[in-house]
């Protein structure tokens, strides 16, 4: 018997109304729980950086899981934005807030007064400075000014390399084989950039992605990091690379709550239909 599931692809944290920007995410609405092997297989078939799975769990509330083509992850910001924007746009939410239960705790996507702009309430991620350079950092190709490690509960390490300029970050051409061998995720960042307070990129060979276009979870660390450094609680951020994108990040006094960060971004619907199993 064929199972048909509602499916959409959205481009999250897109660059205004520009097409083919931001980070593509698939969203699948489940009627019942599916086994992990099936969920992983769908994600591999979609071959996008993330596939988000929704299972209704009360009024305006869903259980949410995220799979890359290579693994399930504990947190994905852009696929959460895609899921919330899709639900809010297709009439599935009675109010203005889509709420989610996830492996990383409660999350939400809220419709703002600006059409097409959504606000998210996510857990903040702390960083700790490293005195010694981690294995594999030479794969970035250019020496970083400072290196930090994100304090989080994923099974792989995640490093934050700070560079001297946005131009240096844009010009990076890493050795992907070397980064994969490190078994780590690598965020790279610098202050400045055209129309932004800071820029970043993310290389994620550890989970099967050469370069993730615009990464919400990375900004849960970047937001408090740059807010403290720049003395600003509301910042404009750009993730550069092959598919650039833009978002507003809120930390400190502008954060939704203590230990949380606020992210605001847009999401464009690209494909909508049915997935057949």
Question: What are the b/e assignments for 67-101, b being 16+ CB within 10 Å?
Answer: bbbeebbebbbbbbbbbbbbbbbeeebeeebbbbb
H or E stretch at 154: none
Contacts with 64 (C-beta within 8 Å, 6 or more apart), sequence order = 52, 53, 54, 80, 83, 100, 101, 102, 107
Q: Are 218 and 202 in contact (CB under 8 A)?
A: yes
Q: CA–CA separation, 72 vs 272, rounded Å?
A: 23
Length of the chain (residues): 277
Q: Are 72 and 66 in contact (CB under 8 A)?
A: yes
Reported in sequence order, the residue ranges of the chain that DSSP labels E, i.e. its strands, are 4-12, 23-30, 50-56, 61-67, 72-73, 97-102, 105-111, 117-123, 126-129, 146-151, 158-162, 185-191, 198-204, 209-212, 234-239, 245-250, 260-276
Please tell me which residue in 9, 33, 50, 264 is annotated as part of the active site: 50
Query: Is 153 strand, coil or helix?
Result: coil
Annotated active-site residue 50? The verdict is: yes
**Active site positions, annotated:** 50
């Amino acid at each position: 018997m064929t199972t048909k599931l509602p499916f959409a692809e959205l481009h999250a944290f897109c660059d205004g109304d520009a097409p083919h920007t931001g980070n593509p995410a698939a969203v699948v609405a489940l009627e019942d729980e599916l086994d992990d092997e099936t969920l992983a297989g769908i994600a591999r078939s979609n071959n996008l950086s993330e596939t988000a799975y929704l299972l209704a769990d009360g009024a305006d509330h869903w259980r949410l899981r995220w799979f890359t083509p290579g693994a399930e992850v504990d947190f994905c910001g852009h696929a959460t934005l895609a899921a919330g924007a899709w639900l809010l746009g297709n009439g599935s939410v009675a109010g203005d807030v889509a709420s989610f239960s996830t492996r990383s705790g409660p999350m939400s996507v809220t419709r703002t007064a600006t059409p097409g702009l959504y606000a998210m309430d996510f857990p903040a991620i702390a960083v700790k400075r490293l005195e010694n350079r981690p294995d594999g950092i030479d794969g970035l190709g250019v020496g970083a000014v400072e290196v930090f490690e994100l304090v989080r509960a994923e099974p792989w390490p995640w490093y934050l390399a700070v560079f001297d300029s946005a131009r240096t970050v844009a010009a990076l051409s890493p050795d992907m084989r070397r980064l994969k061998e490190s078994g780590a995720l690598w965020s790279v960042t610098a202050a400045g950039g055209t129309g932004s307070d800071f820029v970043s990129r993310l290389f994620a060979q550890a989970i099967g992605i050469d370069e993730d276009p615009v990464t919400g979870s990375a900004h849960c660390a970047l937001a408090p990091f740059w807010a403290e450094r720049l003395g600003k609680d509301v910042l404009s951020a750009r993730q550069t690379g092959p598919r650039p994108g833009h978002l507003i990040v809120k930390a400190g006094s502008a954060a939704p709550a203590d230990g949380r960060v606020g992210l605001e971004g847009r999401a464009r619907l690209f494909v909508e239909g049915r997935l057949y199993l």
